[in-house]
Amino acid sequence: MRLYDTMTDVIKQGGTRRGANMADSSVMTILRSWIHTDEADSWRHGNFNVSVGVDAQFFQAVEADAEYDLINPHGRKTRRQDPAKAVFDAMVENAWKTGDPGYVVLGSNQRIGIRIRRPSSDGSRVRIHAVKQPLLPWEAVQSWEPQPFNFVAGDILSGRFDFPRLKEAVLLSTRFLEDVIEVNDYPLPEIERLAKGNRRIGLGVMGWAEALVTCGIPYDKDEALKLGDKVMSFISGAALEASESLAKERGIFPNWHGSAYDPASKHYRGQKLHPRIARARLSRPPERSPSPRACKVEELSLSSRLLIPATTRRR
C-alpha cells in the first residue's frame, strides 16, 4: 500500500495534480491496530482514502456490545474475536483525528438500516462516510461538492437554507459536469469508453457542520439528520431533473438499455426514467418508500457524496 501511495505521489498529472486511491478492507479481516493511525503518521498514506468494510451483522454486534469473528483471509478461518464496539469507536476516533477510515457497506451495498450515533467533540472533523458508491472497473466519475454554508441565508444560529439558490447551482453543476465528461482527456480508451457510456457524476456536500452551526442545529441531533435528508433529497431531485432535461437535448446515456432504468433489464428497479446521466442507486431511510428523489443522508458527514449517472454524448 505504501508503494502505491509513493507511486501516486511521484506520478502527477501535468506535474502538479496528484492522483487519489481508495483502499477498502473488510472489518472481519483487519486488526484493530490497522485502524489506528497517528495524526503525525497520516502522511504515509496521504494519497489514499481508507475505508473499513462493514455489514449489518457487525453493526448489530456494535449495538449489542458483542464480539465478532476476526477471519484470517488466508484459509478463511476464525483467528479470534474482537469487541465490535471497541473497533467502531476506534474507527470514529481515528476519523476524527485524521479523516480516515471511512466505511463501506459490504454485500448488496444497500443501507444497513441501523442508526448509530458517532460521539465527537467536533463534528466538523468527522469524515466517516455514510455509504460509498462503487464504480465499475475502468469507470470514472466527475464530482462537485459545494459548501452548503453558502446556501444558508440569515444570521448565525438562525439561518435557513435558500433552496431556490441551491437548485440553481445543482442545475448548472449537472450541466457543467456533463460537459466535463465529454471534453475530458482520458488516460486510457477503456476509461473513456465506460465514462462516456455511463456518464456518472457525483454531487454531495463538503462542510455540513458549518451549515448546521449557521442554522443553529447540533450535529448529533435528529433534527440534523432530518435536515440532511431534506437537503440531499432536494439535490438528488434537482440533479435528476437536470439530467432528464439534458437527455431531451442530447439523448439518454448510451448504456441505458440493460440499466436499472430499462424495464426490460434484469436490473430494473421500477423507475422508468430517461436521464442523460446514469445514476447510482442511493440509500434511503427505512421509513420512506423508494422514490426517484429520495437519497439517504442518515449519516451525512463532511464528505458525503451521492453518485448519479449523467447524460450521453453530444450529437
- CA–CA dist 301, 228 (Å, integer): 9
Q: Band the pLDDT of 280: cuts 50, 70, 90.
A: very low
Q: Is the pLDDT of residue 270 over 90?
A: no
Contact partners, residue 246, CB within 8 Å, separation at least 6 = 174, 175, 178, 275, 276, 277, 310, 311
Average pLDDT over residues 7-29: 76
Q: Is the pLDDT of residue 261 over 90?
A: no
- CA–CA dist 297, 239 (Å, integer): 16
CA nearest neighbour of 124 among 224, 22, 233, 231: 224
DSSP state, 208? H
Cα–Cα distance list, 104 to 54, 58, 77, 123 (Å): 6, 12, 23, 20
Q: Band the pLDDT of 107: cuts 50, 70, 90.
A: low
- CA–CA dist 266, 31 (Å, integer): 39
- CA–CA dist 284, 291 (Å, integer): 9
pLDDT tens string 188-234 = 999 999 999 999 998 888 889 999 999 999 988 999 999 999 999 99
Q: Is the pLDDT of residue 50 over 90?
A: no
* pLDDT for 66: 95
Chain position carrying cell 441505458: 256
Average pLDDT, rounded, for the chain: 75
* pLDDT for 94: 84
The residue type at 42:
S
58 exposed, middle or buried (CB, 10 Å; 0-12, 13-18, 19+)?
buried
Q: Is the pLDDT of residue 157 over 60?
A: yes
Q: Band the pLDDT of 307: cuts 50, 70, 90.
A: very low
Joined together, the cell numbers standing for residue 278 give 446514469
Query: Residue 124 phi/psi, 5° resolution?
Result: -70, -15
How far, in whole angstroms, is CA 184 from its chain's centroid? Answer: 22
For the chain, which residues make up each domain, given as ranges? 2-125, 142-309
The sign of the dihedral angle between the CA atoms of 166, 167, 171, 177 is: positive
| Alpha-helix residue ranges (DSSP H) falling in the chain | 2-10, 32-35, 56-63, 84-98, 163-183, 189-198, 208-215, 222-250
Q: Up-side HSE of residue 230: CA atoms within 13 Å toward CB? A: 10
